[in-house]
Amino acid sequence: MNASYKKNMILGTALLLSYNVYAQTKSLHIRDVLTLVQSSQPQMRSYEEQARSSQYNVKLARNTLLPDVNIGYQAGYATYNNITGMSYPGLILPISGPPSAGNIYDPVPGTAAGAMVKWNPITFGQRSAAIEKAAAQYKLANSTYNDVLFRQQYTALSVYLDAVYLQKLMQTYQANIDRTNTGLQQSLVFTREGLRPGIDTTQYQSALAQAKTDLLIVQRQYYAQVTELTRVTGLPDSPENILLADTSLLSQLPQMSDTIAGPSGNPVYQYYQVKKEFTQSSLKEISRGWRPKLDLWANAYARGSGVNAGGTVDKAAGWSLSHKNYGVGVQINFPILQFSDVQLKKKQYSAMLKADDAQLDQIRLNLEKQKAAARYNYDQNILITQQALIQSKAARFAFDGLKLSYASGLIDFTRLIQGQYDLLKAETGEAGAFLQAWRSLLDIAVANGQLSTFTDNLK
């Protein structure tokens, strides 16, 4: 097998492997991250189901308008002393017959069947207060979901930005390896020709090893960051199969962003606002707890007793429902002694309501200050990025000049490698400056409560 054929075989195998890897990769755009967090992350599905479950509390509160109907049948043996046998609580209203002349402990059969209806059509505002509280609880659960979703989406965007930054660093460190390797090859030529001392080759070999080590460290950090990205988005794919699509972020500056939006659209502010509404509805429910309760009762039943009216035992009659009865009635009760308890609870929830007001004011202040700080950081980071571009361009120009000077014998290895290090530092600084500019825009979006402030700047 000749060398040319062997080289082509190796190249073909490498291309095939690269194709297989590419075929398994998943291109991930930064906008996809927002959708994945909402649809794929198990934690968000958990919060969604919790919010959905609280919706049934409203239906349960409204369902109290329906009457409570219970039917039942019982049969048993009880002492002769109770002429009706014995009725157990729950479904049959207990009724006692005339007592026997003495204690007769022989058991006789007794049966009963009945239906009991209890209805509360009028609650003096208690039912409406319970419905209002359940609705506020459902709204609070939805607000909690929106707040958690917003935080998770922000986290995912932040992780994506860091991953793009590390990917850019890998490209930068790879370029540094290429520059070092090129210098090493030149050094070997210069050494053979006697133009440079052999120590330069050794120093280049050391610098190349260090450059490769730096790249390996960044690759490790990148893998960990993409792993975190798959966790926060709920992606089952391996980090090796994730391809970050929005790499141009670190080569373009975001546009000026509007910061006029008030705090009302921020999910954090909305959560505390709904929390205050829930406290208000709880206070209303407690305030109406001292109102009277009106119950409508109805009962129809039939019974059989093993003792007849004359006191004679007739066990056969105990198994038949021979006597039938019905009754209706109205019951109203007023919890007089609960006045003190209700008043204490009202004071408790009134204090909680004032606490919610103060907390809402603090959240509003926090968001205003957060927005002002984010806007200032944004303006400063834009200026820093502009300076970083100038610095990296100058460092690149200086390094090109130093390479010519080194080849001409005007400078030594130390001066050249320092220029190469300055270029590497300037390139990483440029990537970091772009990262901070986009991060500050993301901070503005968070303060506004609108992540579209960030995503609308993506091309």
- Identify the bridge partners of residue 69 per DSSP, sorted by sequence position: 117
| Within-domain flag for 76 | yes
CATH number at residue 211: 1.20.1600.10
How does pLDDT run across 365-415, given as a tens digit for each residue? 999 999 999 999 999 999 999 999 999 999 999 999 999 988 888 888 889
pLDDT at 24 over 80: no
Structurally, the chain folds into a number of domains equal to 2
| Within-domain flag for 12 | no
| Within-domain flag for 32 | yes
pLDDT at 158 over 50: yes
User: Within this chain, do residues 314 and 272 fall inside the same structural domain, yes or no?
Assistant: no
Average pLDDT estimate for 162-178: 95
User: Within this chain, do residues 34 and 148 fall inside the same structural domain, yes or no?
Assistant: yes
User: Within this chain, do residues 240 and 213 fall inside the same structural domain, yes or no?
Assistant: yes
111-115, 272-276, 378-382, 398-402: lowest mean pLDDT where? 111-115
> Alpha-carbon distance 287 to 274, whole Å?
20
* Whether the Cβ atoms of residue 381 and residue 436 lie closer than 8 Å to each other: yes
Residue 238 CB contacts under 8 Å (≥ 6 apart), including other chains: 230
User: Within this chain, do residues 108 and 205 fall inside the same structural domain, yes or no?
Assistant: no
> Alpha-carbon distance 280 to 263, whole Å?
21
% of the chain beyond a pLDDT of 70: 85
How does pLDDT run across 62-92, given as a tens digit for each residue? 888 888 888 877 777 766 665 454 555 565 6
Residue 429's H or E segment, with its range, is helix 413-448
How does pLDDT run across 130-145, given as a tens digit for each residue? 899 999 999 999 999 9
Domain range enclosing 254 = 25-61+126-281+341-455
102 phi/psi in degrees, rounded to 5: -145, 180
13-17, 147-151, 234-238, 404-408: lowest mean pLDDT where? 13-17
| Within-domain flag for 1 | no
| Within-domain flag for 427 | yes
pLDDT at 13 over 70: no
User: Within this chain, do residues 267 and 364 fall inside the same structural domain, yes or no?
Assistant: yes
Instruction: Indicate the pLDDT class of residue 185, thresholds 50, 70 and 90.
Output: confident
- For tokens 């919790």, name the residue: 50
* Whether the Cβ atoms of residue 180 and residue 211 lie closer than 8 Å to each other: yes
- Mean pLDDT, the chain, as a whole number? 83
User: Within this chain, do residues 301 and 325 fall inside the same structural domain, yes or no?
Assistant: yes
User: Within this chain, do residues 277 and 159 fall inside the same structural domain, yes or no?
Assistant: yes
